[in-house]
Amino acid sequence: MHDSLIKLINDRATCRNFTDEEIPDDIVNMILSSACKSPSSRGFQTYSIIKIKDKEKLHTLVKLSRNQRFIETAPITFLFCIDYRSMMRIREIEPFPCIEADKFSNFWMSLIDTAIAAQTLCLTAESFGLKSVYIGNIINTLDQVSALFNIPKYVCPAFLVTIGFPKGNTKPSKKYSSSILVHDEIYKDPEIDVLMSAYKSKDGDRPLGNNDELMNRIYNTACQYHGVEYAEKCKEHMVKNGIISIFQFWLGNYYLDEDDFLDMKGYKEFMIKQGFNWLE
């Protein structure tokens, strides 16, 4: 039995190419039931899951998630939320002292619990031949996502999970091994050459070629974040080595703030509006 579980974990791969085949309701219900049996801090289960099949809503989610179109081609997407609303509603009937939504430590633990439930859902889906993908981009548009799904006070969207039957085979991505991620007794940095070797083996590089536009975008981002001197250092590394690293590509080119993204003030205002006062 343990061999099949380990194989399930090892074979799990992110999928962004789904068929339009519907998932039988009994399988969806079993997947969701498994997710709701996940462990949670103090057993409070301060999360909720919104099951989304409506094509219009899915189309809007595409726009709110960096135009990831597979969201509207897959049969189901789940919106996982941090949720203190049930607790607050029970409190109206059965009074009890409660500052749960005012403490960052509780918010942190609820986010962890939400992620555990989501991973349980994904692994259960795998056991039925389904594939999944996590989508965290909605963190940039929490206010718009909340409006789309009538998210009430004391609830905060966390991330999406899309599931469906895959088109073709999926291949697990390379990961750091336990020799990099696991520490014995105390935290200890691996030797830098060992770390760099593992990093390059896992992620590789992109040939720079004649891609001046991409290099300049990375340069401008580095300049904005860290100043001209550091930006010049980034550019020199790219030109000298003739490559663009995975971190340079994603963090200097793709994962950039856009005009409609929440800024720090927007996050604070959103959290306070939702009843989470730990930012005050």
Residue 14 and residue 142 in one domain? yes
Asked whether residue 259 is assigned to any structural domain, the reply reads no
Q: Which structural domain, as residue segments, surrounds residue 155?
A: 2-171
> Which of 210 and 81 is assigned the larger pLDDT?
81
pLDDT greater than 60 at residue 1: no
Domains in the chain: how many in total?
2
Residue 99 and residue 237 in one domain? no
Taken in order 122, 64, 155, 147, the sign of the CA dihedral is negative
Residue 162 — pLDDT band, cuts 50, 70, 90?
very high
CATH number at residue 44: 3.40.109.10
pLDDT above 70 covers a percentage of the chain that reads 99
Residue 167 and residue 207 in one domain? no
In a 13 Å sphere around the CA of 67, the CA atoms on its Cβ side amount to 2
Residue 114 and residue 194 in one domain? no
pLDDT greater than 60 at residue 43: yes
pLDDT at position 2: 67
Residue 161 and residue 42 in one domain? yes
Could you read off the pLDDT of 63-89 as tens digits, one per residue?
999 999 999 999 999 999 999 999 999
pLDDT at position 255: 92
Residue 160 and residue 228 in one domain? no
Residue 49 and residue 96 in one domain? yes
In the 3-class helix/strand/coil scheme, how is 186-231 assigned residue by residue? CCCCCCHHHHHHHHHHHHCEEECCCCHHHHHHHHHHHHHHHCHHHH
pLDDT above 90 covers a percentage of the chain that reads 89
Q: Which of 76, 60, 56 is nearest to 68 (CA)?
A: 60
Could you read off the pLDDT of 109-158 as tens digits, one per residue?
999 999 999 999 999 999 999 999 999 999 999 999 999 999 999 999 99
